[in-house]
């Protein structure tokens, strides 16, 4: 029987009704069989009178997410599924979102490479074969191969608690030595002259304050100290904080930009919006801090997204591709042939 699932907007009241229905179905199933039932999950289907185990799947349709969020990622044994265990282990150690995305991706590729065998059934030989194929067939760089190795070592050591010995027979990708692309002062001026608006402000901060791309995107209003002409970088590379200078050439334009952002934030508050995501557990500790001006993004996105946990409309920071696209267009406009990204400043 084909199950047709309707994906619904997140609604707390609807979710409460689903949970009540789930408990009632489980109770009826246990009474009929006479044995304790497994932890069930519910599916919104056209026909709910099916005796098969059910799955509840919720998906956010109104912006922000392109994934289907499983409400209960449990295996039949009651434990979280393997990839969910990996995510929990990474988040417990406060690794970055990019690290989580990369590690989960490599572990999935490793499992599919060996025809969906569980990692507990595989040892050093399977790991060596997978890593060698990356170098010989996929032609990945040495850093990419090392990242895949680190992801698998994390899986076995931190998630599966399985000791991995010396991995022999790996065909290592050769580390290449490349010359960096360094722009001259005149080239920098030409590129910056081809950028306007908010991307120009971001580019000037990258060039004058030495910010990385995502450090610039994630700046908040409280991180700028105009009296001391300094910027505080929170949770930078290696999850470290640091100070850097505020370039004098962007001080006045940045002040005008922040005034416009503050007016936009006040308008959001009047509409019952104005909340942004907070790092770690601050959102639970300070419930209303997400609406305060100090926590607002300096470079906010033009639209809102729906948080998949709370169902609230929030505003994210400007996506990094906006600045990357502006750099590319400026490079082509001024006639610089070398590929250029924001980090090259």
Q: Which residue has the higher pLDDT, 339 or 294?
A: 294
Residue with tokens 């990708």: 173
8 A C-beta contact, residue 25 and residue 32 = no
Inter-residue contact 266 to 242 (CB < 8 Å): no
Kindly state the percentage of the chain with pLDDT values over 70: 76
- pLDDT band of residue 94 (cuts 50, 70, 90) is confident
- At residue 69, φ and ψ (nearest 5 deg) are -95, 115
Are 204 and 250 contacting, i.e. CB atoms less than 8 angstroms apart?
A: yes
pLDDT category at 77 given cuts 50, 70, 90 is: low
Q: What percent of the chain has pLDDT over 90?
A: 55
Residue 36 confidence (pLDDT): 38
- Find out whether 266 and 292 touch, Cβ atoms under 8 Å: no
Instruction: Take residue 111 and report the two structure tokens written for it.
Output: 């499992």
Rounded to whole angstroms, the Cα distance separating 243 from 95 reads: 22
Helix (H, G, I), strand (E, B) or coil at 146: helix
Distance CA 205, CA 216 (A): 7
Place of tokens 């962007």: 250
Residue 107 has a pLDDT of 96
Domains and CATH numbers, the chain: 12-70 (no CATH), 82-159 (1.10.150.130), 185-344 (1.10.443)
- CA–CA separation, 137 vs 130, rounded Å? 10
Question: What pLDDT digit, counting tens, does each position of 182-235 carry?
Answer: 888 888 899 999 999 999 999 999 999 999 999 999 999 999 999 999 999 998
Name which of 207, 234, 227 is nearest 298 in CA terms: 234
| pTM for this entry | 0.66
């Amino acid at each position: 029987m084909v199950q047709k699932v309707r994906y619904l907007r997140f609604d707390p009241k609807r979710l409460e009704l689903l949970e009540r229905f789930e408990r009632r179905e489980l109770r009826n199933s246990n009474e009929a069989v006479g044995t304790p039932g497994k932890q069930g999950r519910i599916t919104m289907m056209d026909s709910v009178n099916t005796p098969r185990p059910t799955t509840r799947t919720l998906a956010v349709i109104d912006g922000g997410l392109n994934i289907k969020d499983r409400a209960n990622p449990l295996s039949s044994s009651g434990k979280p599924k393997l990839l969910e265990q990996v995510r929990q282990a990474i988040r417990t150690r406060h690794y970055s979102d990019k690290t989580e995305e990369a590690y989960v991706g490599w572990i999935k590729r490793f499992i599919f490479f060996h025809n969906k065998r569980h990692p507990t059934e595989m040892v050093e030989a399977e790991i060596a074969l997978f890593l060698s194929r990356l170098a010989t067939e996929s032609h990945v760089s040495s850093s990419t191969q090392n990242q895949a190795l680190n992801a698998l070592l994390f899986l076995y050591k931190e998630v599966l608690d399985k000791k991995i010995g010396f991995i022999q027979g790996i065909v290592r990708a050769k580390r290449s030595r490349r010359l960096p692309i360094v722009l001259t002062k005149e080239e920098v001026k030409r590129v910056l002259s081809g950028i306007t608006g908010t991307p120009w402000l971001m580019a000037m901060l990258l060039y004058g304050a030495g910010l990385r791309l995502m450090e610039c995107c994630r700046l908040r209003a409280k991180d700028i100290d105009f009296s001391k002409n300094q910027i505080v970088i929170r949770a930078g590379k290696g999850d470290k904080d640091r100070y850097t200078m505020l370039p004098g050439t962007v001080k006045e334009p940045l002040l005008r930009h922040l005034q416009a952002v503050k007016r936009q934030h006040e308008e959001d508050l009047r509409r019952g919006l104005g909340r942004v995501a907070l790092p770690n557990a601050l959102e639970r500790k300070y419930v209303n801090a997400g609406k305060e001006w100090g926590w607002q993004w300096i470079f906010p996105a033009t639209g809102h997204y729906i948080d998949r946990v709370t169902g609230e409309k929030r505003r994210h920071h400007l996506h990094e591709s906006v600045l990357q696209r502006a750099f590319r267009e400026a490079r082509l406009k001024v006639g610089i042939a070398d590929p250029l990204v924001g980090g090259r400043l």
